[in-house]
Amino acid sequence: MIRKIFLLFSLTVFGGVTAVAQLTNTTVATSEAGQPLKPKLVVGIVIDQMRWDYLYRYKQLYSSSGFKRLLNEGFSCDNTFIPYTPTYTAPGHTCIYTGSVPAIHGIVANNWYDKSRNANVYCTEDSTVTTVGNKSDAGKMSPENLWATTITDELRLSTNFKSKVIGIAIKDRGAILPAGHSANAAYWYDDKGGKWITSTYYMPSLPQWVKEFNQKDMVADYMSKEWNTLLPIEKYDQSSVDNKLYENPIAGETTVTFPHKLGIKGIAKYASFRTTPYANTFTFDFAKKAIENEKLGSNTVTDFLTVSISATDYIGHSFGPNSIEIEDTYLRLDKDIADFLQYLDEKLGKGNYLTFLTADHGVAHVPAFLAEYKIPGGIFSDTDFAKEINLALEAKFGIKNLVQSVQNYQVYLNFAEIEKQEKDRAAIVNEVIKLLKQKPYVINAFETDKIAAATLPEPQKQMMTNGYNSKRSGDIQFTFRPGYFDGFNKGTTHGLWNPYDAHIPLLFFGWNIKQGNTKRETYMTDIAATVAALLQIQMPNGCVGKVITEVTK
């Protein structure tokens, strides 16, 4: 009897060990129905400066395999909004992956003024690390300024750091912030030589596969071509004519019309490359090499690849959202996405990977374009604001340079100097507010730490509250009429609460995602929470988002 029990126990243990061995020798465990219990790979795709309406504005010209495939086979959240201001690249990428807001995660903008250092701070700067990949300073970057965890960090934590996480983008902040603190790698582009680089925060030297990719000097090949329209130019009837004085040429060019001659000589071509759609193709090509060489999706647990598409932002800033350039860029991006999805199908298998596609912000129309159609809009200069206010304060209170900075639609005041000079702080603040309100396009101005008492409509009040961080934000916030922004006579920008900046696309596709859409209002902060629910892992530690339950059903 004892021998039978022992034999049964041995068989049970051996069977269990065999099952475990089989499980660890496969890529991802499957359910009884043959569906993977977890995706092999999660791919987060962020399109820098993609307005929500681009999904539908150019839909007639999209192929069936890119944006249309994501819409027709995936789940679309049609009313997704950014829940904070300012709507810039760094906080946008951070919010997507942390599910948090600047008040909590600390990335209040691309740049901010640090009063303790009396200097401007760039969101990912880190003087304690050095560049890996060349001798420039472009690699002195890390996620050091980010206070919260990301969904990529939480994935690593959930698998005891067995999951691989890699971030890729032309922009350093688009690669670093999504990849989080514990990433295996983040790679970004350096203008000095047109190469992919990283920093010593991640590794002491580039992997051999990255070195080999860089040696091809693909950017030089791209910049030896011209950028002409993908389709006959008369097909671009969703755009303005191809010669507007309010457009900015690509650096090195003298014209804003097609074809764009990209035969730019010397090292300058590497910087100009950012403002071409070829930079998007280049990014996806590098992402494929990362999947292949790092064996992403071949793990015993889920891996995560973050990809940010940056050229859309550079092109959008220069030419505006009603340009043939931006329409052509999105038609080319559609082809890139179709190609990348097909690659993932072949490499990992349909249904074995989870993808979401979204944007870090939208963009405003060029004010000069609006003026052509009698629509209000305009520009002003933060620099001029600062000079004007400083002169007025000096004349009235006898202190020079009380305004340390005007940026992110906020004024930073030198309160230390005010106290030292024993001046009336409240009187100076009130004078600045009065000066701001005298501008015809400024609607309101108030102290940032008194947002709760400010007379503001929703969603402005909530968005500005979410964007206010006592350690990094300015002292006075100002708001103005729709269509106005801090900018120049040519090109356009973003950063405000308005729907043109804050309404973004959000699509889920692939593993465990059923086709559908919701018109319910959802938020950028909900993305990390939803991915966490799908993967059955903890939300990031600063997450304020809610699970989009329609996606997880």
pLDDT in the model for residue 422: 95
Which residues are part of the catalytic machinery?
Answer: 89
The amino acid at residue 211 is: K
pLDDT in the model for residue 26: 38
Instruction: Give the count of domains, the chain.
Output: 2
Is residue 105 one of the residues assigned to a domain? yes
* CA-angle at 493, arms to 321 and 92, nearest 5°: 100
Note the residue count of the chain. Answer: 553
Range of the domain at 293: 41-216+275-371+498-552
CATH of the domain at 170: 3.40.720.10
Distance CA 530, CA 547 (A): 4
Is residue 227 one of the residues assigned to a domain? no
User: Cα(first)–Cα(last) distance of the chain, in Å?
Assistant: 50
Considering 427, 452, 481, which residue would you say is the last residue of a domain?
481
The amino acid at residue 63 is: S
Considering 481, 511, 529, which residue would you say is the last residue of a domain?
481
Same domain assignment for residues 59 and 166? yes
Is residue 58 one of the residues assigned to a domain? yes
Count of CB atoms situated within 10 Å of the CB of 343: 16
* pLDDT tens sequence for the chain (553 residues): 333 333 333 334 334 433 333 333 334 455 544 567 999 999 999 999 999 999 999 999 999 999 999 999 999 999 999 999 999 999 999 999 999 999 999 999 999 999 989 999 999 999 999 999 999 999 999 999 999 999 999 999 999 999 999 999 999 999 999 999 999 999 999 999 999 999 999 999 999 999 999 999 999 999 998 999 999 999 999 999 999 999 999 999 999 999 999 987 788 999 999 999 999 999 999 999 999 999 999 999 999 999 999 999 999 999 999 999 999 999 999 999 999 999 999 999 999 999 999 999 999 999 999 999 999 999 999 999 999 999 999 999 999 999 999 999 999 999 999 999 999 999 999 999 999 999 999 999 999 999 999 999 999 999 999 999 999 999 999 999 999 999 999 999 999 999 999 999 999 999 999 999 999 999 999 999 999 999 999 999 999 999 999 999 8
Is residue 207 one of the residues assigned to a domain? yes
Same domain assignment for residues 442 and 319? no
pLDDT in the model for residue 29: 56
SS3 annotation, 454-514? CCCCCCHHHHHHHHCCCCCCCCEEEEECCCEEECCCCCCCCCCCCHHHHEECEEEEECCCC
Q: How many helices (H) and strands (E) does the chain have?
A: 21, 21
Same domain assignment for residues 170 and 309? yes
Tell me the Ramachandran region of residue 302: left when phi exceeds 0, alpha when psi lies from -120 to 50, beta otherwise: beta
pLDDT in the model for residue 186: 99
Residues whose CB is less than 8 angstroms from the CB of residue 277 and which lie 6 or more positions away in sequence, other chains included:
227, 311, 315, 328, 329, 332, 333
Same domain assignment for residues 399 and 415? yes
Same domain assignment for residues 48 and 192? yes
Same domain assignment for residues 313 and 448? no
Is residue 245 one of the residues assigned to a domain? no
The two three-digit tokens of residue 463, written as one number: 């968005």
Same domain assignment for residues 205 and 307? yes
Same domain assignment for residues 198 and 338? yes
Considering 481, 516, 539, which residue would you say is the last residue of a domain?
481
